[in-house]
Amino acid sequence: MKPLTRRHLLAAAAAWPLVPAAARAAAPARGELVAWPEVTLLDGSRFGAAQARGRALVVVFWSTSCPFCRRHNQHVEKLHRAAAGRALTVLGVARDRDPDTVRRHLQSHGLSFPVTQDYAALATALSRRNMIPLTVTVDRQGRLGQVIPGEMFEDDVLELLALAA
């Protein structure tokens, strides 16, 4: 991986004010091992490196106010249900600050995949991209896979189930 120059860091800082520039510079390149942070899920449980070990991960950054995220998350929910009993974990990362807003949104849209609000920690660990929805994959060996910006079609999201193989 090439070292980032000061110009790159300043450009990234201007584009992504939610995460400090030094933290964004730490995100791995495709194929590199992910330093998985310990995050708290909305239900109060913790999800960290121990829970991720040996499992493929599909991590989706989103917001309750994003109409594209609403459609995208319906497909993500289908993936989550299809992954039951397989070595694949789906994790949502809500940008919203109020946990009750996120909980109400999940309930009203029938979404059951686990969600965290530790946006900065996961953005630091996974991607410098600042957009939602953003889908990131991590393979079963803990290496960064795809970083997919924007809303995806249902078939494309469901194809991510192959990561569990």
- CATH topology for 6-164 is Glutaredoxin (3.40.30)
How high is the pLDDT of residue 26?
Answer: 65
How high is the pLDDT of residue 25?
Answer: 58
Task: Output the six-digit token pair for 122.
Answer: 């996961």
Task: Output the six-digit token pair for 75.
Answer: 């497909």
pLDDT tens track for 17-33: 444 455 445 678 999 99
How high is the pLDDT of residue 45?
Answer: 98
pLDDT tens track for 45-92: 999 999 999 999 999 999 999 999 999 999 999 999 999 999 999 999
> Residues near 86 by Cβ (< 8 Å), separated by ≥ 6?
161, 164
Domain boundaries, the chain: 6-164
Burial class (CB in 10 A: 0-12, 13-18, 19+), 46: exposed
Three-point CA angle 53, 155, 67, nearest 5°: 90
